[in-house]
Amino acid sequence: MYDEINARLQELVKKCEEPSLQEAMLYSVEAGGKRLRAMLLLGACEAVKGNYDKTALDFACALELIHNYSLIHDDLPCMDNDDLRRGKPTSHKMFGEAMAILAGDALLNRAFETMADLCDSQQNINAMRTIITASGDNGMIAGQVQDILNENKKINSSTLSNIYSKKTGKLFVVAFKAGAWLGGADEKYIAAIEHVGMRLGLAFQILDDILEVESTAEILGKSTDSDKRNKKNTYVSVHGIEVAKVDYQQISAEALTALNKLPQKTDALCDIVLSVIKRKK
Ligand code: GRG
């Protein structure tokens, strides 16, 4: 699954005919992402209909392209101002800000074009629509906006939940939903799998916050990172590390319970969900 996703992502990005833009797009897409969202989409599709086809693979890649665009833009000096992503220089550090913005834009558009090429059935249109909505102005982008507006402010847990459910949660939820649509699931199944996605997305983000705090050696060496930590709202800054760890255990358990209740699931889907919950970095 992982290799198939990588191979197709490369083909899709190589459709770009502008060499310097293609180079910047490929740099991010080939930088070693875990492909969690794409694998969840394929796993959900397989759980419903027993397999996934080339159409589902393209939708999975479209979601991964959107995720990669969001990371490039999130790293920009005007947003999170990060120098490193996946252990490598961020896109703007490698190619400059203008090219990084354009590479992100181009990845997003490649995602839309990839999905549009497949919109020949109602279920594919549903899958495309749900992905566009999740990543759009009432989804991931809204979460990013709320995160920026709340920088340097003390926020409560409900504001943080709202930010997380949109900023990170939406792409997790939509991986499950779109995969299930493509597998031919009914509304009842979609609602059940959506719940798995919501709990898993939150567990993923809390774990991310815990892991960031725990990688102290890396963090303490960089004054810019400690400056950034002061203004960033995270699950750990709002609730404290101990509560974050307890909540993480509980919310991951809820994700697994919801997963186990699904009328159709496969070992592959369960393994992907577990890999999200158990990841170490
Ligand atoms: C710029 C519109 C816009 C949105 C950005 C998702 C997001 C919104 C920002 C990401 C900020 C961030 C790094 C949050 C931590 C959780 C997270 C999304 C980590 C990266 O996801 P992984 O671990 O990434 O799945 P890989 O590298 O495996 O692809």
Report whether pLDDT(258) > 70: yes
The protein residue whose alpha carbon is closest to atom 19 in ligand 1 is 208
The protein residue whose alpha carbon is closest to atom 3 in ligand 1 is 70
The protein residue whose alpha carbon is closest to atom 27 in ligand 1 is 33
Of 63-77, 211-225, 227-241, 246-260, the poorest mean pLDDT is in 211-225
Tell me the pLDDT tens digit for each residue of 54-92: 999 999 999 999 999 999 999 999 999 999 999 899 999
Report whether pLDDT(279) > 90: no
Confidence of residue 240 (pLDDT cuts 50, 70, 90): very high
The protein residue whose alpha carbon is closest to atom 2 in ligand 1 is 141
**What pLDDT shows up at residue 264?**
85
Report field, pTM of the whole predicted structure over 0.85: yes
Pocket of ligand 1 (CB under 6 A): 33-34, 36, 67, 70-71, 73-74, 86, 140-141, 144, 167-168, 205, 208
Which residue pairs from 127-133 have beta carbons closer than 8 angstroms and sit at least 24 positions apart in sequence?
127/59, 127/177, 127/178, 127/181, 127/182, 128/59, 130/174, 130/177, 130/178, 130/181, 131/59, 131/62, 131/63, 131/66, 131/174, 131/178, 133/174
Return the ligand 1 atom nearest residue 36 CA: 25
The protein residue whose alpha carbon is closest to atom 20 in ligand 1 is 71
The protein residue whose alpha carbon is closest to atom 16 in ligand 1 is 205
Return the ligand 1 atom nearest residue 143 CA: 8
- pLDDT over 90, % of the chain: 84
Confidence of residue 216 (pLDDT cuts 50, 70, 90): low
**What pLDDT shows up at residue 78?**
95
67 CA from centroid of ligand 1 (Å): 7
Give 126 or 110, the one with higher predicted confidence.
110
125 CA from centroid of ligand 1 (Å): 26
Q: Torsion-angle region of residue 218: left (phi > 0), alpha (psi -120 to 50) or beta? A: alpha
- pLDDT over 70, % of the chain: 94
